[in-house]
Amino acid sequence: MCTELMATVESRNQLTKEPALHLRALNGSGVLHNGLGTHCDTLLESDNNFGFRLTLEHSVDSSTICALRGPTHLIKFPPEAVPSISEEDLTDKVVKAGSAIRFDVRFNSGSLSEVIWSVSCAVLRNDSRTTIQPSDSLTKKAVMTIYPAQRADTGKYKLTIRHVDTFIDEVTNVTSGVEVYVTSVPARPQGLLTVSHMSSTTARLKFKKPLDDGGQDISHYEFEKQEAGTGNWVPCGRTKDANETEGKVEGLTPGKKHLFRVRAVNGEGVGEPLESSTVCFC
């Protein structure tokens, strides 16, 4: 009596009718060992566009080889999970410069998946500031960190899950995007810091606005003075608001040489200074 059946399993896409994969399977006690551990009857009832054609070749017991060529059966398998990304894990962020941009995103996909992070159409890779943790079929998480964040990291970030279905030789991409906005102190004011209307104790300073406000509105500009050679910077005035790009400084020491500088201020703090290029004598 035959106790085992040896079979060739040919996979075939039922839409294109093209063969895709060939497997060898051993059938014992009515169970087809196809890696899914599923009974043949259950497989025959499933309904999708992809199936396997099973042709019995021969059966084997301990003493006799039965030369059987059995009937051909169409066996269909359930499709793999449709890839998806957890939108609640991927939300817009406002991050301070110097802190971390971090995403820990759950996703659903089959066993063979590739995780791709990109920003402004450029694919992100591991470097001195960027860490992309490997993902596998068990964790089903896409984790990416950029530290320390810089203003230039502001942009549209995208997560793409590339799923490979080896049964039908098909690749499916699922992509979700998120905005990241990095804030910082303002950049240095532009141009030269010009000094005019000098008197024994006062002067006027003029400058241009910074190219970058740090992602927040500039509130005003602050002036500082230094008696040449002391290295000690002392506040000596400010503008009323961000629209003013010149102002009066006071409290200068008569007969002394002075240096001046100006810095922009926003909600994140005080930016880098623009210093006068020459020593001014009062």
pLDDT digits (tens, 9 = 90+) for 91-104: 999 999 999 999 99
> Rounded to whole angstroms, what are the CA distances from 8 to 52, 66, 77, 84?
10, 16, 16, 34
Q: What is the pLDDT of residue 95?
A: 97
Report pTM: 0.66
Q: How confident is the model at residue 76 (pLDDT cuts 50, 70, 90)?
A: very low
CATH topology of domain 190-281: Immunoglobulin-like (2.60.40)
Structure tokens at 31: 């169970």
Q: What is the pLDDT of residue 166?
A: 66
Q: What is the pLDDT of residue 108?
A: 85
Q: Among residues 197, 201, 218, 196, which one has the least CA distance to residue 209? A: 218
CB atoms within 10 A of CB 122: 9
Residue pair 185/268 in contact by the 8 Å Cβ criterion: yes
Mean pLDDT of the chain: 76
Please give the CATH number for the structural domain made up of 84-183.
2.60.40.10
Angle at 150 between CA 148 and CA 156, to 5 degrees: 110
> Rounded to whole angstroms, what are the CA distances from 63 to 60, 66, 67, 69, 241?
8, 10, 13, 19, 99
Q: How confident is the model at residue 81 (pLDDT cuts 50, 70, 90)?
A: low
50-54, 161-165, 215-219: segment of lowest average pLDDT: 50-54
Write the CB contacts of 152 (distance below 8 Å, at least 6 apart in sequence). 182
Domain range list for the chain: 4-76, 84-183, 190-281
Place of tokens 């010009």: 194
Share of the chain above pLDDT 70, in %: 67
Write the CB contacts of 138 (distance below 8 Å, at least 6 apart in sequence). none
Structure tokens at 205: 């300073």
Q: What is the pLDDT of residue 28?
A: 35
User: Is pLDDT of 241 > 90?
Assistant: yes
